[in-house]
Amino acid sequence: MSFDVKYCLIAICTLCFHLETQGQVLSDTMRTKDIPQVTVTSDRTANPRSVSTSKRADAALMQATGSMQVSDVIKYFSGATVKDYGGVGGLKTVSVRGLGASHTAVAYDGVIITDNQTGQIDLGKFSSSQTESVRMVSGPDNDLLQPAALAAQAAVISLSTGRPDLGDAKAKGNLQLKGGSFGTISPQVTAQFKAGKRNTASLQAEWLETQGNYPYIQEGAGSRKMYRENSDVKRLRLESALFSDIGCNSSLTTRIYWCQTGQGLPANIYYNDYAARERLGNNYSFIQSTLASPVNDRLTLRFSAKYSINYTNYVDPKSNNAQGFTENHYTEREGYLSGVTLYRLTDKLSASAGIDFRYSKLASLGDESPRPTRYTVNSTAAIKYASERLTLTGRLNHVITKEKVVIRQAAESYNHLSPTAGLNWLAWPAAGLHVRASFSNTFRLPTFNDLYFEQIGRRDLRPERASVASAGIVIENQADGLFYSVYADAYDSNVKDRIMAVPGKNTAVWMMKNIGLVTTHGFETGLEMRGAEGRVRPALQVSYTYQRSMDKTDSGSTTWNHQLPYTPRHSASAVAWIENNIVNASCNLIYSGVYYCNAYNGPQYRMPSYYELGCSLWRSFALDTGNLILKAECINITDSRYELVRNYPMPGRQLRISISIDL
């Protein structure tokens, strides 16, 4: 594949992000000319000017938490609940503020990743070594250049791959090798080079292999030590990016992504061993391009285009159906075009408008499958006022869809309007105290599974609607070389018309229905401290989340006011690390209080509280070419035994070592 890019200049695709991390108190409205190119430093993880609670994990935090997969580091974000089936291959989805995983959008370098079939993105598929930072915004974003599809989501997790920083060098390379318990090995090679005056290219290849045969304890009459079976994973990721300076301060970033995974699906541990034979193959590949162009002082444009193919192959070699096995193939193809225009009306007032067009087609083998196609048009209009102390945002999102199926009947078109608004006020400049508040009304469309899956799907579903009102404070300051930030936010969220499987008129056949109502009262708080200077640089990050997610569907039901499944009322995390010239060290802790694995909070569904403690040591040696980093980690030091998802045990103690050499 070739893509001729002749003109290149400054990368603005990451500009909005840079703006946020600069910490300019003045205004974070788009002002292209003033912005010098900055290297992202790890002095800040959240933006105090954000109208919503936002968290960011940078390389340092990912190092300190021993995160191998992106989902690992999200466990340290307050307000996020990670549902994890355990091991490298186990599905990992993130629900923010009790809204459910389908309300969390995932963006890769600013472009949304979608899965119309299940509505959930497995964050375990992304390794921490491919991402430079992970950012999570639980509500409306300050960024006016946000594409319409992302702006319409209740929460967005953005994975940023960063951009090569070659300096004067023509080319750079990096080799990484990780190895760990349960047969885990992962080499990665990265090459970055200048291609002509205005192009920078990067190539990356990562191989991940794990046996995943970790031990667990099977409770019951006489506990037995067993080993997880069929939880092996093999994954190859090839990625290349071209960063082009196309003149007029505009930049074009083009990325090709190809990721092939073959894995087993470990079974519920109460099945007999012979049940764990299911295999899953997945190939996710895409090409995406983003053009960011500040046309002049006042006008900025951002265009993205993407084409993706998500192929999934599920095999159950031991099914009891007629042919003796089950094999499903699904291919979801998606074409995506996005455009956003930002216009600075005055120094303080900006407005933007954006439109996204998406075409998604799910093909699956079998004559009886409906093979749906969905056309989605997301549009958005936003306005922002940003003065020295005050930021106000307002946004209207609109979606319209059109659906087609090959057989049977397609779902009706959706046509929805949803607003968001936010405020951030620097109430006490001396202390760096901001007050923030936001409101968002968002929705998620029914997935293809919700609408069409065998007997369960129902084509008359409405979108699931979420609304969140949040208010809080954030203090950010710097004193004596110590950067610190404290935040506390309280929120109320509602999910209406929840799409759930319930017995139909024939009680033997379950069906999807818009039936649930969930109300969450939540509170999240966190503290972050980092010593930026000196020979010994300590850092600490602590967070706590309270979530009371209640089923408010039917006051006569036995689940009325019961806590949402897999949502602990109390959860907390802490990471402390110290960087110095001898050896860096970190210690991390995750705690979850009691929760339930069912909508009905009976004792038989109660899941005990758990904690997981880890630590790591690493050191960086300076080489002529760059750095050599050696790292040793111990995850789950105390060998804490717990299950996040009922009957899917999490791994116990693990060791991991890694080496990274710049070439």
Partner 1 sequence: MKKGLLKITPILLLTLACDPEPILLEPGQIIADAGHTGVFVLSEGLFNQNNSTLSWIDFGTGKPDSWDTGNGLSYDSFEKVNGRRIGDTANDMLLYGSKLYIAVSESSTIEILDAASCSSLKQISLSRDGKASQPRRLAASGGYVYVCCFDGTVTRIDTVTMMNDATIQVGRNPDGICCTGGKLYVSNSGGLDVDNPDNTVSVISLSYFAEVKRIFVRSNPGNIYSDGDNVYVVSRGKFSYVTMDYDTRLHCIDTQTDEVTATYDLPILNMDIADGKAWFYGYGAGGTIQVLDLATGQILDQDFITDGTRVQCPYSIKVEPTTHKVYVCDALDYVTPGSLYCFSPDGHLLYSVPGIGINPNTIQFCDINVKTTRYTGPPEIKGDIDRVFEYKPAPGQFVNLLPVYEQGDDSASMALKCLNALQSGNMITLGGFGGYITAGFNATVQNQDGPDFRIDGNAYNGNAEPGVVWVSSDANGNGLPDDTWYEIWGSEQKEGRATLGYAITYSKPAANDGNSEWTGSDSRTGSILHNSFHSQPYYPQWYEGNSVSFTATLLPDNVTYENGIYVMSSFGYGYVDNLPNSPENSQFDIDWAVNSDGTPANLQSIDFIKIQNGVIGCNSTTGELSTEVSTIYNLNSKTE
Min dist CB 503 to partner 1, Å, is 6
270 vs 428, beta carbon nearer partner 1: 270
DSSP string, 75-101: TTSTTEEEEE-STTTS-EEEEETTS-G
Phi/psi region, residue 658 (left: phi>0; alpha: psi -120 to 50; beta: rest), is beta
Is 225 near partner 1 (CB under 8 A)?
no
Q: Which residue in the set 454, 479, 535, 621 belongs to the binding site for partner 1 (CB under 8 A)?
A: 454
Please check whether residue 539 is in contact with residue 578, taking contact to mean a CB–CB distance below 8 angstroms. Answer: yes
6 vs 318, beta carbon nearer partner 1: 318
Is 321 near partner 1 (CB under 8 A)?
yes
Tokens of 185: 């090995």
Please check whether residue 574 is in contact with residue 542, taking contact to mean a CB–CB distance below 8 angstroms. Answer: yes
In a 10 Å sphere around its CB, with 0-12 CB exposed, 13-18 middle and 19+ buried, how is residue 620 labelled? middle
Min dist CB 74 to partner 1, Å, is 25
Min dist CB 102 to partner 1, Å, is 20
DSSP string, 403-424: EE-SSS-PPPP-EEEEEEEEEE
Q: Give dist(CA 1, CA 168) in Å, integer.
A: 28
Which residues in the 605-634 window bind partner 1 by CB under 8 A? 605-606
Strands (E), 365-509: 373-386, 390-404, 415-428, 433-444, 464-479, 482-503
240 vs 598, beta carbon nearer partner 1: 598
169 vs 407, beta carbon nearer partner 1: 407
Is 503 near partner 1 (CB under 8 A)?
yes
Q: What share of the chain is helix, strand, coil (3-state, %, to 5)?
A: 5, 55, 40
Q: Give dist(CA 290, CA 256) in Å, integer.
A: 12
Per-residue x/- marks for partner 1, 517-556, CB under 8 A?
---------------------------------------x
Per-residue x/- marks for partner 1, 640-659, CB under 8 A?
------xx------------
Is 504 near partner 1 (CB under 8 A)?
yes
Q: Which residue in the set 226, 256, 275, 287 belongs to the binding site for partner 1 (CB under 8 A)?
A: 275
Min dist CB 230 to partner 1, Å, is 12
Cβ-based neighbour number of residue 121 at 10 Å: 23
Is 322 near partner 1 (CB under 8 A)?
yes
DSSP element (H, E) containing 148:
helix 148-151
522 vs 565, beta carbon nearer partner 1: 565
Of 89, 95, 123, 119, the C-alpha closest to 108 is: 123
Q: Which stretch binds partner 1 (CB under 8 A): 59-67, 112-120, 136-144, 273-281?
A: 273-281
Task: Name beta bridge partners: 266.
Answer: none
Min dist CB 499 to partner 1, Å, is 16
Min dist CB 88 to partner 1, Å, is 21
CA angle 533–534–537, rounded 5-degree value: 75
Q: Which residue in the set 270, 345, 428, 429 belongs to the binding site for partner 1 (CB under 8 A)?
A: 270
Min dist CB 558 to partner 1, Å, is 4
Min dist CB 394 to partner 1, Å, is 41
Q: What's the Rg (C-alpha) of the chain?
A: 24
Q: Which stretch binds partner 1 (CB under 8 A): 181-189, 319-327, 334-342, 464-472?
A: 319-327
Is 498 near partner 1 (CB under 8 A)?
no
Strands 654-662, 570-579: pairing is: unpaired
Min dist CB 597 to partner 1, Å, is 7
Provide the 3-class DSSP secondary structure of residue 174: strand
Size of the site for partner 1 (CB under 8 A): 47
Min dist CB 408 to partner 1, Å, is 5
257 vs 596, beta carbon nearer partner 1: 596
The contacts of residue 389 (CB under 8 Å, 6+ apart) are 425, 426, 427, 429
Min dist CB 514 to partner 1, Å, is 15
Is 602 near partner 1 (CB under 8 A)?
yes
Which residues in the 560-579 window bind partner 1 by CB under 8 A? 560
Is 558 near partner 1 (CB under 8 A)?
yes
Q: Give dist(CA 561, CA 549) in Å, integer.
A: 8
Is 319 near partner 1 (CB under 8 A)?
yes
The contacts of residue 93 (CB under 8 Å, 6+ apart) are 82, 83, 101, 104, 120, 121, 122, 123
Min dist CB 649 to partner 1, Å, is 13
Is 455 near partner 1 (CB under 8 A)?
yes
Q: Which stretch binds partner 1 (CB under 8 A): 66-74, 103-111, 274-282, 388-396?
A: 274-282
Min dist CB 249 to partner 1, Å, is 55
39 vs 506, beta carbon nearer partner 1: 506
165 vs 219, beta carbon nearer partner 1: 219
Provide the 3-class DSSP secondary structure of residue 131: coil
Q: Give dist(CA 496, CA 99) in Å, integer.
A: 10
455 vs 580, beta carbon nearer partner 1: 455
388 vs 554, beta carbon nearer partner 1: 554
Q: Which stretch binds partner 1 (CB under 8 A): 52-60, 287-295, 346-354, 500-508?
A: 500-508
Q: Which residue in the set 248, 345, 509, 623 belongs to the binding site for partner 1 (CB under 8 A)?
A: 509
3 vs 270, beta carbon nearer partner 1: 270
Q: What are phi and psi of 90, to 5 degrees?
A: -65, 140
Q: Give dist(CA 63, CA 215) in Å, integer.
A: 26
Is 221 near partner 1 (CB under 8 A)?
yes
CA dihedral 339, 119, 464, 488 (to 10 degrees): -80
Q: For the chain, what is the total number of helices (H) and then of strands (E)?
A: 5, 35
Q: Which residue in the set 6, 298, 404, 408 belongs to the binding site for partner 1 (CB under 8 A)?
A: 408
Q: Tell me the residue type at 518.
A: V
Is 268 near partner 1 (CB under 8 A)?
yes
The contacts of residue 45 (CB under 8 Å, 6+ apart) are 55, 56, 57, 58, 61, 485, 528, 541
Provide the 3-class DSSP secondary structure of residue 448: helix
Q: Which stretch binds partner 1 (CB under 8 A): 1-9, 71-79, 373-381, 508-516?
A: 508-516
Q: 559-579 as b/e, with b when 16 or more CB fall inside 10 Å?
A: beebbbbbbbeebbbbbbbbb
Q: Which residue in the set 39, 346, 506, 581 belongs to the binding site for partner 1 (CB under 8 A)?
A: 506
Which residues in the 326-385 window bind partner 1 by CB under 8 A? 367-368
Min dist CB 207 to partner 1, Å, is 30
The contacts of residue 136 (CB under 8 Å, 6+ apart) are 54, 55, 56, 74, 77, 80, 96, 155, 156, 157, 158
Residues binding partner 1 (CB under 8 A): 219-222, 268, 270-272, 274-275, 277, 318-322, 367-368, 408, 454-455, 458, 503-509, 511, 556-560, 597-606, 646-647
